[in-house]
Amino acid sequence: MSATTTAPTGPDATRSLVPTVVRSRIHLNRSALPTVAALTILVVMLVYGEAAYGKIFALNTVSNLFITNAYLIILAVGMTFVILAGGIDLSVGAVVAFSSVSGVMLINAGLPAGLAMVLMVLIGAFFGLLSGVLVQYFSVQPFIATLAMMFLARGLASILSTEPERLPDDSAFRNLATEIKLIDGPKLNDLVTTPNVLIAVVVVVAGFVLLHRTRFGRTVYAIGGSEQSASLMGLPVTRTKLLIYVVSGTCAGLAAVVYTSKLGIAQNITGTGWELDAIAATVIGGTLLTGGAGFVLGSVVGALVLGLMNVLITRDGSIPAEATTIITGVVLLAFVILQRVVVGSRKNE
């Protein structure tokens, strides 16, 4: 006769579940630690800026922070999907350049602004698709695949035009940058927004829903945790890895629309280094470079940290603009070290 074991019931069962619950909570808190750190840094920067320079909490300052960094927020959301799955996308800045130059030239050739915007987004999605195909079907490393797309997009933008392409002043494209007054403050201290900011908000909400409320999002996290395990679980790994680059490319196309409508000019050098800004915003916001942990809202916080950093340096006046890159590098290094601590603590559990 074989012996049978039964699970503990009553008080014993409750006691046995407590360590499991506690461990899961600790694991969740550690995963969110970089994001909490980014949010803390943002608050500290706001308080310091207000104390040192004043008017940081002014309505027009807050408005400009979001209006100026709408394109970066969109890029960071797309980059979050890629890094969460353990990949990287170095092509987004060049894709912005090619999309913007193509769109402005098409508008100047007589194409309706609305159709040009759609084509700009589709161009971004197409480059993302190419990157995904190289990564998934040709087993090219994401770094190399997206680097190739970066050179391709930048080269195509340079072939199209070596001179700045300007939007007509009366183009409907420029309406996306029209300011909408939300609060009428004293002495021009108004809270305003633009359709571009609303586009960024929609992208953030859509990214949040995709990652946290859909099977696609759960698969992205699973791939970042362990692609082999995700495959053994029967998750659609191939399709998901392809789509994350399409998402990133689509966000790059949208960022091109947002930035071009605000500036009114498209150049082949537009977007130089933006891929690094997007990666920095995503990492500062708490997404692990190893994949498997991170939040869309954290990437938004990371983008705002970078944007506010530029505001404070400009307000100070004594710090050279070149120092922004150095400060960004120091902050990024600090967050990478913090991530290593978090990952190391997980392995020791």
pLDDT in tens, 89-129: 999 999 999 999 999 999 999 999 999 999 999 999 999 99
* 3-state SS class at 182: strand
Span 23-41, average pLDDT = 66
The CB density around residue 174, as the number of other CB atoms within 10 Å, is: 17
With pLDDT > 70 as the criterion, what percentage of the chain qualifies?
88
Contact present, 299 and 76 (Cβ < 8 Å): yes
Establish if 4 belongs to a structural domain: no
What integer pLDDT is reported at residue 138 of this predicted model? 93
Residue 104 or residue 314, greater confidence: 104
**Is there a domain that residue 83 lies in?**
yes
For residue 244, what pLDDT is reported? 96
At residue 181, does pLDDT exceed 70? yes
* pLDDT of the residue at 36: 83
Q: What is the pLDDT of residues 227-264, one digit of tens each?
A: 888 888 888 989 999 999 999 999 999 999 999 999 99
Residue 255 maps to a domain: yes
- The answer as to whether 291 is a domain residue is yes
DSSP line for 5-23? -----THHHHHHHHHHHHH
pLDDT band for 55, please (50, 70, 90 cuts).
confident
Taking 70 as the threshold, does the pLDDT of residue 182 lie above it?
Answer: yes
Assess if residue 111 is contained within a domain.
yes
Query: Given this model, what pLDDT does residue 19 score?
Result: 45
CATH code at 62? 1.10.3470
Rounded Cα distance between 292 and 176, Å, is 35
In a domain, residue 170? The reply is yes
Q: Which of 259, 264, 263 is nearest to 278 (CA)?
A: 259
The pLDDT assigned to 91 comes to 95
According to the model, what pLDDT value does residue 324 have?
Answer: 74
Residue 225 has a pLDDT of 87
Mean pLDDT across 194-219: 94
pLDDT of residue 309 exceeding 80? yes
Structure confidence at residue 348 (pLDDT) = 55
Mean pLDDT of the chain: 86
* pLDDT digits 0-9 by tens, 157-170: 999 988 899 998 88
Domain coverage including residue 219: 38-47+54-347
pLDDT, residue 26, reads 41
pTM as predicted:
0.87
Contacts of residue 87, Cβ cutoff 8 Å, sequence gap at least 6:
135, 142, 241, 244, 245, 291
Q: What average pLDDT does this structure show over 5-29?
A: 44
The domain total for the chain is 1
How many Å apart are CA 111 and CA 125, to the nearest integer? 20
Q: Is residue 91 part of a domain?
A: yes
Q: Establish if 2 belongs to a structural domain.
A: no
Considering only 11-15, 48-52, 189-193, 195-199, which range has the smallest mean pLDDT?
A: 11-15
d(CA 111, CA 215): 38
Predicted pLDDT at 30:
64
pLDDT at 81 over 60: yes
Share of the chain above pLDDT 90, in %: 54
